[in-house]
Structures are given as C-alpha cells and as structure tokens.
Amino acid sequence: MDDQTSPVLVARADGVATVTFSRPEAMNSLDVATKEALLAALRDVAADDAVRCVVLTGTGRAFTVGQDLKEHVRLLGEDPEQLWTTVSRHYNPVVELIATMDKPVVASVNGVAAGAGAAFAFAADLRYVAASAGFNLAFTGIALSCDSGTSWSLPRLVGPGRAKELLYFPRTVPAQEALELGLATEVVADEELADRVAEVARTLASGPTRAYGAVRRAVAFSSSHSLADALAFEDEMMTRTGLSEDHRTAVQAFLAKERPSFTGR
C-alpha cells in the first residue's frame, strides 16, 4: 500500500487494485495534492497488467464531495487561473482513465458523492452504493458549469431531460432514488458494502479482462457514432479478443465441458 499519509491510497490483492480517497477529515474533497495523487494512482493501475479490476472508494462519511472549496476560495484570491486549468490538467484525464482503461472499474460509493465525485462514480462501469449514501450534482449551486464528464455520463444514465433537472436543481439524491433513476447499480447496507464490492471485484478480476476492456470501449464508442461505425468497431474488438489466450482457453473449456480459467491475456 502507498504511504499512509497520501490523500489517495492504493492497495493491490488478487488482481484487484483499490484506490481510496483518504482525506476523511475534509470529506475527501479534492485539493490539488489529492487530484495529482489520484491521477498518478489511476495511471499506475491502468498500466499494471497484474491489475484486472479497479475499485474506487472513499473513507469516512464521503466518497468524495468534489472540489475542495476552502482551497478554491484561497486560489480564487491568489491564482484564479489555476482553478480553471485544473479541469484540463486533472479532472479530464482522471475521468478518461476511469472510463477507458482496459479493465473494469467499480465505484464503491461509501458516502456522499458530490460534484466531480459524482462524475467519477458515473464514469465507472458499476456503482455499488451504501444505503446511507447519495449523489449531488452541486455545480450550479456555486454558479459553475458541470465538469469531469458529467455532461457525457449523466444523460447516458438518466436521459438528457432528467440530467438537466438534476444539474439545474442540485440536491442530494438518496441511494434508493439513485437506484430507481439508474445512477446506482445496486444499493447495499452500509456494513455490507465492502464485502459486496470485494465479491464483485474478485469475480471481475478472475474474468476475461481483454473482453471486458473491449466491451467498455465498444459501448462508449457506439454512443457517439453511427451504426456503421459501431459495427466496424465491434469487428475490430472481436478480432482483438478472438486472438486472445483467454478466448482459446474458453473454447477448449466449453468443448471439454469445464469451467475456463482466465489469465487476462
């Protein structure tokens, strides 16, 4: 595990990398140090072939409440340009990594996820949400536009009309409503969240990693391309996965009426 004083911790076990926001005293808000540590952690686990599933979670009462507003106010007086360059320097590459790395990403939403924090969770493949947790699209509440891919991910989860409603009238959407809206994959009792996510992550980490990566890329690609382009991309991904060791293993296991054992290659 990383230095325990870091605002973002990384633990690896059994093919799963758990990336944890670790500023519970600040509701895991995102100051510059946290954003830089998060980006470095995600780059590291994305490039690590031994990592076959990534879990993103928080400590304490929050997943992350987004931008650290105390630092924000200070920088607004000292260096306002740094506030706006952080979108391109930090938030955009973080979300792109979460959404496109070649392995599944699971958000374990242990508490409130607000602003960019909600957007990080929406960029993941699956969102397991503690019963006491919730999402808040807080951007317009402080007279800002949305960032961190919210304009891309939120309408795809709930539709453009509901997305604008949630952005125009920010409020905390409780876990059960989030499930009904399609923001949550599953709502889990607070005390059972870690075990449930660990179970899901272990299952994904033992699966056909290249196939999962190809599926998440294909789903993202098809949402903004024509049917013809989507079919061509599927063809490309099918060729890529068809040449994998895991595919050959799966076919052989099927013929032998056995369960395949995947290596992620």
Q: Are 46 and 97 in contact (CB under 8 A)?
A: yes
Q: Are strands 62-64 and 8-13 parallel, antiparallel or unpaired?
A: unpaired
Q: How far apart are CA 157 and CA 186, in angstroms?
A: 14
Confidence (pTM)? 0.91
pLDDT tens for the chain, residues 1 to 265: 456 789 999 999 999 999 999 999 999 999 999 999 999 999 999 999 999 999 999 999 999 999 877 766 666 666 666 667 888 899 999 999 999 999 999 999 999 999 999 999 999 999 999 999 999 999 999 898 899 999 999 999 999 999 999 999 999 999 999 999 999 999 999 999 999 999 999 999 999 999 999 999 999 899 889 999 999 999 999 999 999 999 999 999 889 998 898 988 8
Does the fold of domain 209-255 match that of domain 8-205?
no
Superfamily of domain 8-205: 2-enoyl-CoA Hydratase; Chain A, domain 1 (3.90.226.10)
Q: How far apart are CA 48 and CA 120, in angstroms?
A: 20
Question: What architecture is domain 209-255?
Answer: Orthogonal Bundle (1.10)
Q: Can you give the pLDDT at residue 228? A: 97
- Other CB atoms within 10 Å distance of the CB of residue 133: 29
| Domain regions of the chain by residue span | 8-205, 209-255
